[in-house]
Amino acid sequence: GLSGKLQDTFKKLRGKGKLTEKDIKEATREIKLALLEADVNFKVVKKFVADINERSMGAEVLKSLTPGQQVIKIVKDEMTRLLGEKPVKLDYASKGLTGLMLVGLQGAGKTTTAGKLANHMKKDGKKVLLVACDVYRPAAVKQLQVVGKQVDAEVYSDETSKDPVQIAKDGFRFAREHFFDVVLYDTAGRLQIDETLMEELAKIKEEVAPDHIVLNIDAMTGQEAVQVAETFNEKIDLTGVILTKLDGDTRGGAALSVSAVTGKPILFAGMGEKLTDLEIFYPDRMASRILGMGDVLSFIEKAQADFDEEKAKEQMDKFRKQTYTLEDFKEQLLQMKSMGSFKDIIDMMPGANKKALKGMDFDDKEFARSEAIINSMTKNERIQPNIINASRRKRIAAGSGTRVQDVNKLLKGFEQSKKMMKQLSGLNNKKHGKMKFP
């Protein structure tokens, strides 16, 4: 029958075996080194590798990959997920003024990024005010004024004041009174985290209640990225991160460290000293860069080049969410008939046994018969097939011009298909949140 054929095909699609402890051990040794080389914090590496071990154990190996490549694929996917999966858009307040506070260590790139953001937001048609809250670093105000001039954004400063909290408050009021759309607070940093700075930032936050508190972190930051991110996040609860100086030759392991400890999205990457050098952050590309296994990764990508993962996932999600009924079964049959889409998807799967597809040229008669049988059922019967007893089967057969045994066959096929969908959608995606370190 129809779904029997489907089931066979799926069986044949299965890879060449499952990952063993030895496979995983070998591959993760290599991965650990790559991560440490990329300067990912060692605690993050330890936790990450442990997670991967757990996830990989017993996972299927795609036909086109070696076990080692399969582990790397799992690592790459997991890292992408940890880095946020998809680019995140910086959103504006639904009405009125949007406040954004830039924080970070000295030299992290806050003032430069303030200019970059102003430039970016102006393209969104926003009127942006820059507020100079760094009263410590000599010429900090001047620097912001130069930046503001370059991007044609107004700067609020008060060189007679040494009180950054007051300046932030005044800047906020000025922005509101002059109908700015966005106010960016350029705050002071220190060479190292200190209590006084944190208190000052917490006070500014309290006074101006910004919508966003964005940590700037230099992509070259090594092991200490974890502590920096953790402290800022604990003291002032970040909403996002901007990774600066990613134009350098660093692998950028700091990105993973920061994502792992804060769980906050990385919004942009600074790609140079110019005020136009701000790019949207792509988790997928960052994961490749951190892993640094260019050749292996491009091989893996090629191996699944035509496999439209999105499409397959979408289908799985549908199967997972819906309570699968005969209506859905019919829908699926129709879909297969009209587009051959299901066959196409299978065809594109890496490791698909192309020979198995030969058996999948469903004949139109079988489709028509199946459709007629389902059409002859009442709505209740379609939703609760278990009520279809012998006398109902007789009625349905008569109504559809088929035999009772055809109805039986269809119902059996439906049950099998239901089971199969359940199994397939059980290939679960674990959700990952914030990691905590002792």
Name the minimum Å distance from CB 75 to ligand GDP: 27
Interface with Mg ion, residue 112, by CB under 5 A: no
Which of Mg ion, ligand GDP, none has residue 240 at its interface (CB below 5 to 8 Å by kind)?
A: none
- Taking residues 62 to 101 in sequence order and writing x for each that binds ligand GDP by CB under 6 A, - otherwise, the string is ----------------------------------------
Nearer Cβ to ligand GDP, position 216 or 417? 216
Token reading at 289: 């860069």
106 is an annotated ligand-binding site residue:
yes
252 binds ligand GDP (CB under 6 A): no
Q: Which stretch binds ligand GDP (CB under 6 A): 223-231, 266-274, 325-333, 351-359?
A: 266-274
Nearest-angstrom CA–CA distance, 13 and 325: 25
From Mg ion, ligand GDP, none, interface partner of 112 (C-beta below 5 to 8 A by class) = ligand GDP
Rounded to whole angstroms, the Cα distance separating 262 from 405 reads 60
Question: Based on CB atoms, which residue is closest to Mg ion, 104 or 252?
Answer: 104
Residue with the CB atom nearest Mg ion in the bound state: 111
> What would the x/- binding string for ligand GDP be over residues 302 to 341, using CB under 6 A?
----------------------------------------
Say which residues have a Cβ less than 8 Å from residue 18's Cβ, sequence separation at least 6. Answer: 58, 59, 60, 61
Give 129-168 as a 3 state SS string. Answer: EEEECCCCCCCHHHHHHHHHHHHCCEEECCCCCCCHHHHH
274 or 311, CB closer to ligand GDP? 274
State the minimum distance, in angstroms, from the CB of residue 293 to ligand GDP: 25
- Choose the contact partner of 264 out of Mg ion, ligand GDP, none; CB within 5 to 8 A by kind: none
Chain position whose Cβ is nearest to ligand GDP: 270
| Residue 55 is labelled as binding a ligand | no
Does 111 bind ligand GDP (CB under 6 A)? Our answer is: yes
Q: Is 84 annotated as a binding residue?
A: no
Q: Indicate which single residue of 28, 111, 216, 250 sits in contact with Mg ion (rule: CB under 5 A).
A: 111
Chain residues 171-230 in contact with ligand GDP, contact rule CB under 6 A: 189, 216
Burial 123-143, CB ≥16 within 10 A → b, else e: eeebbbbbbbbbbeeeebbeb
Q: Is 106 one of the binding residues for ligand GDP (CB under 6 A)? A: yes
Provide the binding-site residues for Mg ion, judged by CB under 5 A.
110-111
Which residues in this chain contact ligand GDP in the complex, by CB under 6 A?
Answer: 104, 106-112, 189, 216, 244-245, 247, 270-273, 277
Binding-site residues for GTP sit at: 104-111, 186-190, 244-247
